[in-house]
Chains A and B, each alone.
Chain A
Amino acid sequence: MAVTSMNGVGLRKRPLDMGTTGLGVAAMCVLAFLYLPIITLIIFSFNSSSITRLPLESFTLDWYVKALSNNDLMTAVWNSVLVGSAAVVICLAIGIPTALALDRYDFPGKTVFRRLVILPITLPGLITGVSMLTFFRSVDIQLTIWTVIIGHGTALTAIVVTNVFARLQRFDRRIEEASADLGATPLMTFWYVTLPNIRAAIIGSAMISFTLSFDELPVTFFLTGRDNTLPMYIWSVIRRGITPEINAIGTIIVVVSILLILISVLLMHSDNQKAGPVKP
């Protein structure tokens, strides 16, 4: 991101003109703008002052110790892991058959159905949250962690649908026909031929769904009972004020989610899948 490296590798070899240089500087400034707050978050998680202000004081790991020994926080993390995992199971159980049906069959109302299914990622999360709240209340279902799980499942299944569907569209159906010709049952064909081919899309979109669930607030906000997820906990703390403890937990989330993303990108690439994951 350093401005000084701009004349180096990667840029056009002919002498740089004013316009290009100006554009390069502007582009680097935008990138700096994108990273400044994240870097701030990380720096202040190691700063001993309880107020996030300059100049920096001494280096400390206290905020990490505090965060990790905070029981409410740890319960919230655990709840989020539980919600995310269960939501991913729903996303896959519903998303894969939906994508298969959209790819392989024509049925009345298909166009409308396709639009409906992606609504939760096109509309604000708040709409999903509020409409599901009215639903749960009108059938007298108490708000618990399970309503949050169903909410996340609903909000995020579209990610699995769009990714798996995109992969299926590029999939050479002739190898399935070959499998059927050789006497495999449809289930065997699915298990041994189709599934391995869409595996990368499934794993990638499952990881994206988990990450998004882990960060989800608008749906959770309306559907949660007594159990806090991690974003709900962070929300309740930062509404009241600022504490570097949040910076510490934030830094951990940043590192973990970047690692998860790198792994899923590598997985997608290893299967030589050109189009990346579709994000809402």
Chain B
Amino acid sequence: MKHKTRRTLNFWALFSAPALWWGTVLLVPYLIMLSISFYSRQFPFHVPDFQFGNYAILLQDSQYYDVLMRSLWISLSVSLSAFVLSYPLAYFLAFKVRSERMRLFLYTATIVPLWVSYLLRAYTWKTILGSEGILNSFLMWTGVISEPSTIFLYNQGAMIVTMAYIFTPFMVMPIYASLEKIPVSLIEASKDLGAPRFMTFLKITLPLSMPGVLAGFTFTFGLSIGDFISPILVGGPYSNMIANVVATQFGMAMNWPLGSALGVVLLFIVLGVITASDKLERVGRLNMG
């Protein structure tokens, strides 16, 4: 019994400060944001209340509904583009590079861009795609076009390219990790049984790499839908994402209740995607036996 008391004491000596900290800076702020989302607004302030009006606005006002749909669509496109870019690279690293050092070097090379300032990586795309930018001046220099074109920057395409560029390493990492775990014997067995290479890929490699693909999708989707910086830098007028609206409501629009409601929706979208990919992965594992 005495041992147990001492253990409890040790535990609290260790844990009381962190518990207090996490409670104050993490749990309480989340709860405050949640409760403000039920407040009502009386310009220019908000008053404590418990009503679902802020959430109703999100569903009724087509402006917010459009933003929500656009955010989902852009984030999905970014994840898909990052997937298309990442899979060949991860596959190449895992199966075709035989030297351990070369593989480590190439893998590190894939991750290093993550350490280059996020803001600067978005900004360089602005300098590349702009009407006075590198792409335009290159095309004019080589004579492909005679006038600078404005079609490259300030649209959803520019946004998808920029974000896919920024988040691709997050897709490569988990796909590579899951490809690397596939036993070579399985692939050889499939070959020995006479399956063409593409069949082996479709039936063995791809299904076994699904956990990594799912993890990559979860990362990229979550990162894209929470991003309000790339849309402002390269997105142009019709590119407001849910994160931009949250930022505006807490900034110029000064509508904290609506901003909080949107924040809560964003939080649940991301948590939902994480939970769904967890469930899918578990189902996949069961099917594999």
Using CB atoms and an 8 Å cutoff, list the residues of chain A in contact with chain B.
Answer: 1, 9-13, 19-20, 23-24, 26-27, 30-31, 33-35, 37-38, 40-41, 44, 51-55, 93-94, 97-98, 100-101, 105, 107, 113, 116-117, 119-120, 122-128, 130-135, 138, 150, 153-154, 186, 211, 215, 217-218, 221-222, 231, 234-235, 238-239, 242, 246-247, 250, 253-254, 257-258, 260-261, 265, 279
Partner of A138, one of B32, B227, B259: B32
Q: Is the CB of A254 within 8 A of B116?
A: yes
The distance in angstroms between the C-alpha atoms of A127 and B225, with both chains bound, is 11
Of B141, B232, B247, chain A has the most CB atoms within 10 Å of the CB of B247
Known: A9-B99, A20-B96, A122-B274. Contact between A130 and B250, CB under 8 A? Answer: yes
Q: Is the CB of A134 within 8 A of B22?
A: no
Partner of B125, one of A11, A37, A128: A37
Known: A123-B270, A154-B26. Contact between A31 and B89, CB under 8 A? Answer: yes
Known: A107-B11, A123-B226, A124-B222. Contact between A217 and B22, CB under 8 A? Answer: no
B93 partner residues in chain A, CB cutoff 8 A: 27
Of B14, B18, B33, chain A has the most CB atoms within 10 Å of the CB of B18
Q: Is the CB of A40 within 8 A of B89?
A: no
Among residues of A, the one whose C-beta sits closest to the C-beta of B256 is A134
- What's the A-B contact tally at a CB cutoff of 8 Å? 234
Known: A54-B137, A130-B259. Contact between A258 and B115, CB under 8 A? Answer: yes
Using CB atoms and an 8 Å cutoff, list the residues of chain B in contact with chain A.
Answer: 7, 10-11, 14-15, 17-18, 21-22, 25-30, 32-33, 36, 85-86, 88-89, 91-93, 96-99, 101-103, 106, 108-110, 112-121, 123-128, 130, 132-134, 136-138, 141, 165, 168-169, 197, 222-223, 225-229, 232-233, 243, 246-247, 250, 256, 259-260, 263, 266-267, 270-271, 274
**13 A-B pairs with C-beta separation under 8 A:** A10-B103, A51-B132, A97-B15, A101-B11, A107-B15, A119-B30, A122-B274, A150-B25, A217-B118, A218-B226, A234-B120, A235-B229, A254-B116
The distance in angstroms between the C-alpha atoms of A113 and B134, with both chains bound, is 49
The distance in angstroms between the C-alpha atoms of A126 and B232, with both chains bound, is 15
Partner of A38, one of B21, B103, B124, B130: B124
Among residues of B, the one whose C-beta sits closest to the C-beta of A106 is B11
* Nearest CB on B from A80, distance (A): 11
The distance in angstroms between the C-alpha atoms of A234 and B110, with both chains bound, is 25
B97 partner residues in chain A, CB cutoff 8 A: 10-11
New contact pairs (4) apart from A55-B141, A124-B270, A246-B123, CB-CB < 8 Å: A34-B168, A52-B127, A123-B222, A231-B117
Among residues of A, the one whose C-beta sits closest to the C-beta of B11 is A105
A40 partner residues in chain B, CB cutoff 8 A: 124, 127-128, 134
Q: Is the CB of A116 within 8 A of B26?
A: yes
Partner of B30, one of A33, A131, A242: A131
Among residues of A, the one whose C-beta sits closest to the C-beta of B142 is A54
Q: Is the CB of A10 within 8 A of B112?
A: no
Known: A10-B97, A30-B85. Contact between A239 and B232, CB under 8 A? Answer: yes
Q: Is the CB of A116 within 8 A of B120?
A: no
Q: Is the CB of B226 within 8 A of A217?
A: no
The distance in angstroms between the C-alpha atoms of A134 and B32, with both chains bound, is 7
Q: Is the CB of B10 within 8 A of A38?
A: no
The distance in angstroms between the C-alpha atoms of A112 and B110, with both chains bound, is 34
Q: Is the CB of B96 within 8 A of A12?
A: yes
A35 partner residues in chain B, CB cutoff 8 A: 109, 113
Known: A12-B96, A231-B119, A257-B115. Contact between A94 and B18, CB under 8 A? Answer: yes
The distance in angstroms between the C-alpha atoms of A136 and B80, with both chains bound, is 38
Q: Is the CB of B270 within 8 A of A135?
A: no
B126 partner residues in chain A, CB cutoff 8 A: 238, 242
Among residues of B, the one whose C-beta sits closest to the C-beta of A40 is B124
A51 partner residues in chain B, CB cutoff 8 A: 132
Q: Is the CB of A134 within 8 A of B260?
A: yes
Among residues of B, the one whose C-beta sits closest to the C-beta of A255 is B116
